[in-house]
Structure 1
């Protein structure tokens, strides 16, 4: 897309939210060799800030003996669609020995992934959510038309994934439900063919640090949103030493910080730097995000001044400051032979006014001018006497 970052497609609402606790993902084998069962727990976001398809496939391949049953347990709000599709296909290749298990929630990309299993068991109190793909982009009209075409194509990939699991489902009805962001109960999912069996209900938190995303869905069930207000249950097996004075950790609203980055980048005309800023700041705090926004603006200005705007996203993602960017741009300009100098310095308010020096007298020039004038006068006089 002509020096613009390619859009990533998310099969869920809002922007990416970083997973604060990555201990949710695990692959384990249980039982003796003759009764070995592999369990994969996808309890969090799917994609770059959670479990990528590459990691999922590599971890599964490392433990899979080719014959043992595989259970893929999901409790996920979703994430990046293409990672979800890749996990879908990885489960599908396992054939009849693969069971997908929805322990609490399989939303968006997670619903696509779990439908790759030969058999899907959904807990009685769990839900499955399907909806349209989502992305963000920047650019001119042609860029947005291309992005719209990509979204249409990814919607077809979603429809194909669901119909591979439920071939008898009505195509028009499926598209209507996907477009309307539909939350399916266990019985509804089985009736549609997206799940095969209703299992026993278990108590599992449906958010896992991702509750802010649930709040941005249009039709998130009230019972799921209510869990956001429930205090975390204490683990009786864990004992903590008292802290004096009490340790108070700041609460970071990642969704708010991500929205701040998006809005301010849009206002500044640097929407292409949204994703690099999300990556480089990691949404750790408002102070870090504000500093990142200021740095991104300075870096972009330097790259534009150097007529090399295509490097701004790379430098922002790498966390480079203005001095480091100047050095890199200088090297690129010198090696290209353009001979273009960048001066991004601004005068300070308290800088003294520059001194204006009087022009020095050039005596030799004055003398030469007078001699030339006198010589011309003399020649004129001789001509008149003749």
Structure 2
């Protein structure tokens, strides 16, 4: 099952990556929060972001969870943190942006079908959500809420230098290669250079050929041999691999699978994919046999429209 986030255990703490649309592929913040809850309360976390946004409700839940986390949270905006993703970034104790990264904030948006009362209810909901987001941006930046409101209303894109100057970031690092698989042209004020950078990510990069190696005369005596591997180094590498495998299985709620992975000496990438597949298989579809919360089929669908819309427009 494809996912929009990953959580990898480190020797100390964990690294969380959100590299896609938040709330996509039917995976909600509920799964993210369950995985986050398995980490030690004081574990230091590194959150890496490269996302166009997504579900604003999921983003608020993730922001609140990271704010409650007792350990230090370092956020690295590896490419773009737009819309709902920029709000999650505000939960960081330190926010790092490469020189060519971007952050975007705007008012939440949505769609509704129905009566005038339905329209007014939607407008009230958007105002409340916008107010919550505004307070989070203001708390991190130190700027007045009225100033944040103006930035959100006009959909503001900030590069690293601008974000640093305005208090939305703490540190600017060296530029990185843009890597994104999402469409940022759907936003109304996306700078053209960002659209072009995302489009160009799949273009082949010209690689300068290495000069041909020159053969030198063999002046060795023929008695030299490769050094013997250091047993201590081999043991340390094996222990690190084993600990990582066990931690991954524990985080995925599949500790019983660790022994099989260790016996087969599977790669960490294969292990992560196997754990994702195992978890997907363990999640039963109960919708057909158990009533689910929400409006009845004959009810007005505007609540469902809001939920779906925010997954696309957050």
Tell me if TM exceeds 0.5: yes
Name the residue aligned to 1:56.
32
> Secondary structure of the residue that 1:49 maps to in structure 2?
helix
Larger Rg: 1
Give secondary structure in 1 for the equivalent of 2:172: strand
> For the structure 1 residues 231 and 122, does the alpha-carbon distance in structure 2 shift closer, same or farther, using more than 3 Å as the test?
closer
- Provide the rounded CA distance (Å) in 1 between the counterparts of 2:21 and 2:15: 18
Residue 146 of structure 1 is aligned with which of 121, 124, 132? 121
Shift >6 Å, 4+ stretches: none
* RMSD, aligned α-carbons: 2.6
Normalization by structure 1: what TM-score?
Answer: 0.51
Whether the 8 Å CA contact 2:2–2:25 is kept in 1: the answer is no
Task: Tell me how far apart the structure 1 counterparts of residues 140 and 172 of structure 2 sit (CA, whole Å).
Answer: 16
Give the TM-score taking structure 2 as reference length: 0.62
8 Å Cα contact 2:19-2:51 kept in structure 1: yes
Count the aligned residue pairs. 213
Which residue pairs with 2:6 in the alignment?
A: 26
Question: Which residue of the other structure, out of 132, 144, 155, is the alignment partner of 1:181?
Answer: 155
Whether 1:65 and 2:40 are equivalent positions in the alignment is yes
The superposition leaves residues 307-364 of structure 1 with CA deviations (integer Å, 9 ceiling, x where unpaired) of: x971696xxx9xxxxxxxxxxxxxxxxxxxxxxxxxxxxxxxxxxxxxxxxxxxxxxx
Give the 3 Å change call, closer, same or farther, for CA 198–95 of structure 1 in structure 2. farther
Q: Which 5+ residue runs of structure 2 have no aligned equivalent?
A: 206-295, 306-314
Correspondence for 1:203 among 177, 191, 199: 177
Shift of 1:215: 1.4
Paired residues for 1:340-351 under 5 Å: none
Q: Distance in 1 between matches of 2:299 and 2:109?
A: 26
Paired with 2:3 and 2:129, the residues of 1 have a C-alpha distance of 30
CA shift at 1:234, angstroms?
6.9
Q: Are 2:200 and 1:230 equivalent residues in the alignment?
A: yes
Partners of 1:53 and 1:94 in 2: how far apart?
Answer: 16
Question: 1:46 and 1:131 mapped to 2: Cα distance?
Answer: 16
Aligned position for 1:130: 105
Which of 6, 11, 14 is 1:38 aligned to? 14
| 1:96 to 1:47, Cα distance in 2 relative to 1, 3 A | same
Determine if contact 2:100/2:159 at 8 Å carries over to the other structure: yes
User: Aligned with 2:202: secondary structure?
Assistant: coil
How far apart are the structure 1 equivalents of 2:167 and 2:198?
30
Deviations 1:24-60 (Å, cap 9, x if unpaired)? 52110123xxxx1310000001125365221211112
- Residue 191 of structure 1 corresponds to 165
Q: C-alpha distance in 2, partners of 1:133/1:231? A: 28
Matched, 1:155 2:125: no
Q: 1:224 to 1:22 in 2, by over 3 A?
A: farther
Q: Confirm or deny: 8 A CA contact 1:88 1:112 kept in the other structure.
A: yes
Counterparts of 2:188 and 2:46, CA distance in 1: 31
Higher relative contact order (CA 8 A, sep 6+): 2
